Structures are given as structure tokens and as C-alpha cells.
Structure 1
Amino acid sequence: MPRSRTRGCVSMGRHVASSGAGSASGWFGGRWFGRGRTRALLCVGVLAALGAVGTSASWTDTASLTTGPLTGGAMDLQLQTATAGVGAVGLGTNHTEAEIAAPNLTPSESKAFAFTVRNVGNADFTYGATVTQTGTWTFTAGAITVQLFSGGAPSTDTTYPVQEACAGGTPITTAVAVTSTNTVVIPTTRALVKNTNDSLCLVVAMATSADNTNQGKQGTLKLDFTANQVTS
């Protein structure tokens, strides 16, 4: 009898007529008798087993990237007068400028001084400024005033009463009295791009109203500049 096939698989037994007990699929007389469904299941099992054996290896690779040095930039507001060197170099550094001085002032007299605000850091910034009295201050309240100008050149006056001004400058604020608390002298912050300068002019005066008790008095001014990075 020829071999039978189920969906392309060789059957694993012969068709044999049987009756009575043991006629169902199974071993009988030492031979395997299976129905068509049994042979199909056996065939599927064989194919599945053969498919599981057919695996293949895959190659892999990894890579890493190391960058160059990362460094933080710096923001540095520096100050420079017309004839003196650069001051306030470095973060939070104070600077004393002896060139800005007004000895022997009398009521209504004024002295003018040019200086430059420098942005030598790695970021654009805006800045403002306040003024206050410092050191040994013996003038009466309101006796000394200051005024800042954008640009302008100090005029020279050697006659009495000395009244120097910032010729050609644009007033940033009106003259303000120097007190023991910080008084704003740049009410609107000024923008300064990195690696650029801003030319200012300062007028220091003794008010016309300064009374007689201010004779022989003394004091020192402190101008505080604050810069803030521009982030957008």
C-alpha cells in the first residue's frame, strides 16, 4: 500500500481496518494506527521543531564620544578714567580712583570728570548705578550733589567760582543729593554689548544752599555699578 501524506508530510502509519476494542487510533498489534487528524498534528510538530532550529547570530557594536573642555565664561564690568589705568578688574572688585576728587569746594562750585564703563566679559549686559557717602563724611545733608551724563567732555574752568560741566553730554538724571543711603543716578539701565565701552561724565558740586557749617568739611563718594547679563 503506498504511503499517505498530510499537507506534504509523510504519515507515520498505515490505514488498517479494525473493529471492536482498540479500533481507535493507537498502537495495536505492535503497529501505529492513526487517523488523519493525528497524522496532521504530528506533521505540524515536526515542522515547528525544524523551524526552531533555524536561528542566526547578529553582530553588535558600541561607540562613545568624549568632548573637548567645557569652561564657564565671565562677566566683568570695569571702570577707567581718562588718564588712570583700568580699575574694578574681576568679579565684585572695588576700585578707588584718586583722579576723581574735588578739593576746596565752595557753594555753587562744580568739578567734572570723564570715565568709561567697560564690558570685557563674555556676555552682553545692562547696568545701573547708585551713589552714597562713605568713609568719614562731615558735610551736612544735601550739601554735595552729583549728576551723570552720557558722553560729553569735562570743561575746564580755573576762575572763581569754578563751574565745570560735561560739555556736549546728555543728562542721565538730574543732580541728586548725596546721602547715607543709596541714591539712583542711572534710573534706566544702560545696555552694553560685550567688548564695548560706554563713556560717562560725572559732575560733583557743592549746592548753592550749603550753609556755613560745611566749611572745612570732608567726605568720599561711592558709586556702585551693578551689571546684569542679557539672556535673550
Structure 2
Amino acid sequence: MHESMTKGRARLRTAWRRIASVQVRMLLSLGLVLGFAAVGTTAYWADTATFTTGKIEAGSLDLQLGGRHPVTDEIQWQAIGLDQPWNYSVLQLDNVSPGESVAMELHLRNVGTTPLTFTGVGTSASNDLGTHLKASTWLGAAARNDGTREAVNRKGHCDNGTEAWWAGHALSTTPAHVTPNNRAVSLVPGASIQVCILAGLAAEAPNSIQGKSTTIKVVLTGKQVGTT
């Protein structure tokens, strides 16, 4: 009897120690969980990064025109700035007779910072000279003039051109394309080209236009590359 009671008490002590050990482990585990939770709510990583761009500046578009001075042979730039007109007095013929003509160089350059394309149309101020007022243009050609007003044998020449834009084109008050098929010509910043323009009366011009006159007007329109 005493032996059985002793064994029973021993089993109770063992069971209690096991239960106590489990409770301690549960409490320890709970404490660890709560401990990590407390740390997690008080330490968030954070960072900030900032960048600044370089200078942002609008570009410019400026198509300038110029001509070669007949005496100094230097290119003089006119129509400087935006939307500037230019009266090129070199291209004129007074007291002209049938078959006479005059040649001039038109220089164009892009002094802006933006690549551009340009097209142009030409007209005469009146139709007094009818279809007998002729004009020809060559890209890259140099202008040369022979003869005198007194001898009535003035003759213009466009030498060594790379492309014919007009060839004996009749001018009137109806606008006509300066470049073939109104094809746009490209100019990158700093680039320039020259065009030789030859204008005069056709050799078959009739007596009915004697004493009549007109002026030629060419309007060039430059646009930023990519626009329509």
C-alpha cells in the first residue's frame, strides 16, 4: 500500500514538472513574439533621393538671306532676324530689251539652333510683262553677268550648278513654287546654301510690253524639322 502511494506521488511530481516546463516555454515564446513585435513598430527604414536637371532653354529658328556684293564680291547678309523683308536691288533690269537677263546669287543660312526646312513661292507684282518674264534657278551655282546697258546686250549666267530648280519659268501674279514640286530643303544649324537666280525677258517678247515693268517677289518659309 505504501509503495503504491509512493509511486503515485512520483508520477504526479513528474507530470507537474512537465506541465510547468510547457508553461514556461509558452511564456518565453510569447515574450519573444511580443518582444519582436515591439521592436518592429518602432524602427522603419527610410531614404530620400533628389535630382535637379541641367539648364532647359528653348531653341531658336532663324532663316537668314544674303547676296553677293557686285563690287566687293563679299556675301552681305540681309533679312537678319525673324520675319524680315529684303529688297535685293542687284536683281533689276531697266530699259531691258528682249533676250536680256541678269543673274544674282541668293544665299540662305540657318543661324538658329533648330534644324529647319524651307519652301518658297515666287510671284511678279503685275502681269504687265505677261509670260515673257522668265526666271531660272540653280542650286549651288555662281552668278555671272556680261554686257552693258548701253550696248543692250546684258546676259546673266548661272555657272556650275548642282540642281536646276526652275528652267525658263514664266512669272506672274499667280504664286509658283521656287523649289521643284515645292520640295522642302533642309538646313541644319550653321549650314548655308546658295542659289543662282536668272531673270529676264524672253527673246520673242512683243512690242506691246514696251515701257512696262514689274518686280519679282519670293517668299521663303522656314519650319522646324518634323512640322507639317
TM-score (norm 1): 0.73
Aligned equivalents of 2:96 and 2:19: distance in 1?
Answer: 124
Give per-residue Cα distances to partners, 1:96-141, cap 9 Å, x unaligned: 222222211122111111221111111333333221123xx36242
Matched with 1:104 is: 95
Q: 2:222 aligned to 205, 209, 227, which one?
A: 227
After TM superposition, the structure 1 = structure 2 runs for residues 3-152 of structure 1, keeping only pairs within 5 Å, are: 3-5=17-19, 8-10=22-24, 48-55=33-40, 56-83=42-69, 85-134=76-125, 137=126, 139-150=128-139, 151-152=141-142
Give per-residue Cα distances to partners, 1:189-229, cap 9 Å, x unaligned: 33333212112111111123332232111211111112333
Does the 8 A contact of 2:97 with 2:152 survive in 1? no
Long gaps (5+) in structure 1: 12-39
Does the 8 A contact of 1:154 with 1:167 survive in 2? yes
TM-score (norm 2): 0.74
Q: Which one-letter code corresponds to 1:3 in the other structure?
A: R
Bigger radius of gyration? 1
User: Does the C-alpha gap of structure 1 residues 52 and 175 become closer, same or farther in structure 2, counting only changes over 3 Å?
Assistant: same
Q: Which one-letter code corresponds to 1:148 in the other structure?
A: T
How many residues matched?
Answer: 200
Greater fraction of residues in helix: 2
User: Relative contact order (alpha carbons < 8 A, sep ≥ 6): 1 or 2 greater?
Assistant: 2
Does the 8 A contact of 1:145 with 1:204 survive in 2? yes
Does the 8 A contact of 1:4 with 1:10 survive in 2? no
Offset of residue 95 of structure 1: 1.9
Q: Which one-letter code corresponds to 2:47 in the other structure?
A: D
Aligned equivalents of 1:211 and 1:68: distance in 2?
Answer: 67
CA RMSD of aligned residues (A): 2.7
Does the 8 A contact of 2:143 with 2:156 survive in 1? no
Q: 1:200 aligned to 177, 195, 202, which one?
A: 195
